[in-house]
Amino acid sequence: MKKNNLRSVIFAGLLVAIGIVLSSILSISYPPNSTIIRFGIGYLPLILISIILGPKIGFSAAIIQDILGYFVYIWIYGFPAGPFYLGFTLNSILYGVIPGLVYNLKIKDINIFKYINFVFILILIGLGVWGIFNIQDIIASIEARLEEGQAFSPIIIYLMIIIGEIGLIGMLILLLKHRLDDDYSHRIILTIIILQIIITLGLTPLWVSQLYGIPFWPQLPIRIIKAPIEIFIYSILLIRLVKILNTYRIDKV
């Protein structure tokens, strides 16, 4: 038992370190050097910890990653990415807790996750269509936040919407054709959708509004563009990674 606990701690520590690197170095911002639209998979290791080791360890790992990540960013770049704010710590905690709860939830009807995903993906596709018809308003809201001399091309925004829609339609086709081979794949997709709705579309714009005085509602169109892309990327990566890690689970060694 103690040996397995030690392995779990080491495994979680490695994933936390990977998460800090992904968040600090391998995230992409558009326009460059801005925080208007930021893509990354820094929370992916936390989700893996929560699913593989459970939400309790995920809770602890989330706090550690958030605090260490803040100081590592300062150490690398010489300045903070922003003020340390407990709201963003809560975001990390949700990434470390919700996946483990959903993944291990006891439900008699295993198809319920597939049905819920189907509805959510249709809603997200609808939001993408809304974004296409309101693209000029979205571009105007981005341009209003640009700093002097910052490069920006509206074509990139069109591409983001198209990529997000293609990804969601692809996931919808997989659901309709029952190509996902187990219930747990549906749980992973639902987890990512829930996290994106709560955090990307809900909590994060609220924290930004409180910190910087940027109104809540004008932030949503930009985040509606971002959410489908991250849902697609996270889902594809996590489904594969969870299958691999479950094959070599540390508690079975």
Q: What is the DSSP letter of 29?
A: E
Residue 168 CA to residue 124 CA, distance in Å, equals 8
Q: What is the DSSP letter of 198?
A: I
pTM for the full predicted model: 0.87
**Nearest-CA neighbor of 234 among 166, 162, 167, 165?**
167
Residue 167 CA to residue 236 CA, distance in Å, equals 10
CB 170 within 8 A of CB 232: yes
Residue 54 CA to residue 52 CA, distance in Å, equals 6
List, in sequence order, every residue forming a beta bridge with 39; answer none if it has no partner. Answer: 28
Interval 86-130: pLDDT, tens: 999 999 999 999 999 999 888 877 778 888 888 998 988 888 888
> What pLDDT, on a 0 to 100 scale, did the predictor assign at position 249?
59
The percent of residues in the chain predicted with pLDDT above 90, rounded, is 30
* DSSP H or E stretch at residue 38: strand 37-39
Residue 9 CA to residue 26 CA, distance in Å, equals 24
Interval 225-249: pLDDT, tens: 888 888 888 998 998 899 888 776 5
Separation of CA 233 from chain center:
9
Helix (H/G/I), strand (E/B), else coil: 216: helix
